[in-house]
Amino acid sequence: MSGTLHSFIQLAWRNMWRNPRRTLITLVVVSAGLWSILFFNAFLNAWMQSSKDATLKLLIGSGQIHAREYMDNPNIKTVMAPPGARLRAALERPEIAAWSARLVLPGVIQSEYKTRPVNIAGVDPATERRLSSIPAKIVRGRYLNGVDDDGVVLGLHMAKRLKTGLGRRVILMSQNADGTVSEQSFTVVGLFDANQKTEDFYVFTGRAADQRFLHLNAEISEIAFAVPNDADLDPVLTRLRAAAPQLDVRSWRQLSTYLAATDSMMRGVIYIWLAVVFSMMAIGIVNTQLMAVFERLHEFGLLRALGMTPRRVLMMVSLESLFLIGVGCLVGMALAALTIWGLRGGIDLSAFAKGLELVQGGQVLFPKFDLASFVVFPLLIWLLGILVALWPASRAAKASPVEAMRHAT
Amino acid sequence: MSNIVSCRNVSKVFGHADLAVQALQGINLDIHAGDFATLAGPSGSGKTTLLNMIGALDTPSSGEVVIDGQPLARLTAAQLSEIRLHKVGFVFQAYNLIPVLSARENIEFVLELQGVPGAERKERALNALADVALEGLADRRPAQMSGGQQQRVAVARALVSRPAIVLADEPTANLDSKTSEELIALMYRLNQERGTTFVIGTHDPGVMAHSKRHIQLLDGRIDGDGQG
Ligand SMILES: Nc1ncnc2c1ncn2[C@@H]1O[C@H](COP(=O)(O)OP(=O)(O)OP(=O)(O)O)[C@@H](O)[C@H]1O
Ligand SMILES: [Mg+2]
């Protein structure tokens, strides 16, 4: 049987090149189709990554830890103690690039002209700088200096609404630990430029200053953490939950459902594209292979007359498709890899940035070579291609051996 | 004399009802080991149809065909393939060879289907080519050979698997008379030297001149069967 297989392979390979024009057309169809799938996939992933990065790096992180009731009802009663030794150890593991403990509670900000509801975030600037992009987005003044800094950092849009500015004073109000309302004047030390939603939602001050303001000791309300490698996230969540079973540990998917929905939609889009491209490829493959088979019906009749079983004829013709589509897949993979390599410097979308408002900040996309999709998609195309080519092959297997005797001229 | 092929009451009808064509009617025929038989008759008399029955390419509408002791009734397409592979060699009128394979590879192909190991395959293929005096053309593709050379390769291929019988349907129809004569002489020599059984369907008087047994067909019936 191995000898037979060898001769089948040789025969199939040579037959594949008998009509170079047709072979070339099929190769182009398969390789262009696979190229478009692989490139589109890399592009979408890069797009998703950049919008995810922009959103998550702003403030959310890869996940957060709160007291159990905090997410439903964030207030001075749903704060928690700073992380104990066990949780700290879990947070210090190498998979977690940074973590930051915050005190984020709803309150009110007031200028001479306006009063607005806001979330007052007491942060540690040192850890915050490693987790959040807001410290780097200061456009006027400075970021906070330390946990005791009692200056306040506002978003540009908030400052405009309040008609206040750098060096001016604003009043923050919030319920304190004693059940009364604290009210205190803070100096605006810096303005940050993020998206409008974040600018309107948060003001920042030093964490210890915030705790004093609200008559707290060391209590915090959230720990945000960054896990750079997506694959590490689930194990990290599991470990954190084990380390702090009484707390509420959530991933960004639970914290930003919009982003999570976009993420799974993007993954859906690539499979829709795969289906579209594959249908077109299938038509091309079936067409060319049927032509190739009908041209050679006499020859298949001869092979049957010589004693080849219908199954072996089917195998031989399938082997041809296997080579043809396989070579097409290899070419498509090479082209896609080259394209992605060529674009490693990034695709600058700033020209279209106006139309891409949902992509916050991420205007340069970095398509990445992703081994898994370079295995899965070509394999899928290859197998599906061989599957549809079974139809022409079965037509060849039905060639009658009597045909070899008749119509000989 | 032992029978290589026996046909008992073999009839073949093509098509149905009004369009039915009675190609063979009640054929009784035994092919003996060592026969060098010609099958002649006017066009449409059923020569090709009968050769198809003898060679297990097709099955009769009624009656029985036995090849080398094996009755063909109720065999599947795959089982008939096996019978052809091991017991029958074919030489057709034209397009006998696989175009993408060289002369030697065409011959080896049958041996590979039989599962003969590589080294033996090559040696037997080259010997078969030598038998038909074509050892020099082993690596030529069919398109690079003359019609007569192609037919000789087909003869070599038919013989290489040591079949019980070799069937040839109008093997000389596309050849000039000199080449035809050479091909027939070659088959006759192989019959004489090896005792290989041949049945040759033909119109060619030159072919009939060599035959040791002459079977005449008319309207799907045997109209004569005698020593040539
Ligand atoms: N597949 C088929 N379908 C219908 N009729 C057929 C088929 N094969 C053969 N016939 C008919 O059967 C009869 C015998 O045909 P066959 O080919 O055996 O004759 P032949 O003696 O070989 O003729 P020729 O000398 O022209 O090759 C003819 O009438 C032919 O038309
Ligand atoms: Mg005929």
Q: Which ligand is nearest to the CA of B217?
A: 1
User: Looking at chain B, which residue has its C-alpha nearest residue A299?
Assistant: B98
Give A299 Cα–ligand 2 centroid separation in angstroms: 18
- Angle in degrees, 0-180, between the axes of helices B77-87 and B103-114, rounded to the nearest 10: 120
- Angle in degrees, 0-180, between the axes of helices B103-114 and B147-160, rounded to the nearest 10: 20
Residue in B13, B21, B50 to alter for ligand 1 test, most ligand atoms within 8 A of Cβ: B21
Phi-psi region of B217 (alpha: psi -120 to 50; beta: other; left: phi over 0): beta
Helix (H/G/I), strand (E/B), else coil: B134 = coil
Helix (H/G/I), strand (E/B), else coil: B179 = helix
Residues counted in chain B? 228
User: Looking at chain B, which residue has its C-alpha nearest residue A5?
Assistant: B112
Q: Which CATH architecture has domain B33-57+76-227?
A: 3-Layer(aba) Sandwich (3.40)
Answer whether residue B39 shows pLDDT above 90: yes
Q: Do A1 and B115 touch (CB under 8 A)?
A: yes
Structure token pair of residue B158: 């038919």
Is there a contact between B131 and B153 (Cβ–Cβ < 8 Å)? no
- Burial of A29: CB neighbours in 10 Å, binned 0-12, 13-18, 19+: buried
Give B218 Cα–ligand 2 centroid separation in angstroms: 13
Q: State the pLDDT at residue B207.
A: 85
Give B51 Cα–ligand 2 centroid separation in angstroms: 9
Of A182-186, B85-89, B131-135, B197-201, which range is least confident? B131-135
Q: State the pLDDT at residue A237.
A: 96
Structure token pair of residue A86: 């066990």
A324: nearest Cα among A258, A388, A262, A255:
A388
Q: Residue ranges per domain, chain A?
A: 2-55+260-408, 69-245
Is the C-alpha dihedral spanning A115, A117, A118, A120 positive or negative?
positive
User: Is-above-0.90 flag for pTM?
Assistant: no
Rounded alpha-carbon distances, angstroms, from residue A249 to A56, A95, B1: 16, 16, 94
Structure token pair of residue A368: 């990445």
| B75 close to A (CB below 8 A) | no
Structure token pair of residue A272: 């829709």
- Each residue's pLDDT, cut to its tens digit, for chain A (409 residues) gives 455 667 788 888 888 888 888 889 989 999 999 999 999 888 888 888 888 888 888 899 999 999 999 999 999 999 999 999 999 999 999 999 999 999 999 999 999 999 999 999 999 999 999 999 999 999 999 999 999 999 999 999 999 999 999 999 999 999 999 999 999 999 999 999 988 889 999 999 999 999 999 999 999 999 999 999 888 999 999 999 999 999 999 999 899 888 888 888 888 888 898 899 989 888 988 988 899 898 888 899 999 999 999 999 999 899 989 999 999 999 999 999 999 999 888 887 776 655 554 445 556 888 888 888 899 999 999 999 999 999 999 999 998 888 766 755 4
Q: Residue ranges per domain, chain B?
A: 33-57+76-227
Contacts of B149 (CB under 8 A, 6+ apart): B134, B137
Answer whether residue B50 shows pLDDT above 60: yes
The C-alpha of A307 sits at a distance from chain B's nearest C-alpha, in angstroms, of 4
Spell out the SS3 assignment of chain A: CHHHHHHHHHHHHHHHCCCHHHHHHHHHHHHHHHHHHHHHHHHHHHHHHHHHHHHHHHHHCCEEEEECCCCCCCCHHHCECCCCHHHHHHHCCCCCCEEEEEEEEEEEEECCCCEEEEEEEEECHHHHHHHCCHHHHEEEECCCCCCCCCEEEEEHHHHHHHCCCCCCEEEEEEECCCCCEEEEEEEEEEEECCCHHHHHHEEEEEHHHHHHHCCCCCCECEEEEECCCHHHHHHHHHHHHHHCCCEEEEEHHHHCHHHHHHHHHHHHHHHHHHHHHHHHHHHHHHHHHHHHHHHCHHHHHHHHHCCCCHHHHHHHHHHHHHHHHHHHHHHHHHHHHHHHHHCCCCEECHHHHHHHCCCCCCCEECCCCCHHHHHHHHHHHHHHHHHHHHHHHHHHHCCCCHHHHCCCC
> Which residues of chain A neighbour B116 with C-beta distances below 8 Å?
3
Q: Do A11 and B115 touch (CB under 8 A)?
A: no
Give A349 Cα–ligand 2 centroid separation in angstroms: 72
Question: What ipTM was assigned to the predicted interfaces of this complex?
Answer: 0.93
Q: State the pLDDT at residue B124.
A: 95
Structure token pair of residue B132: 């038909």
Question: How would you classify the pairing of strands A151-155 and A181-192?
Answer: parallel
Residue in B49, B204, B207, B219 to alter for ligand 1 test, most ligand atoms within 8 A of Cβ: B49
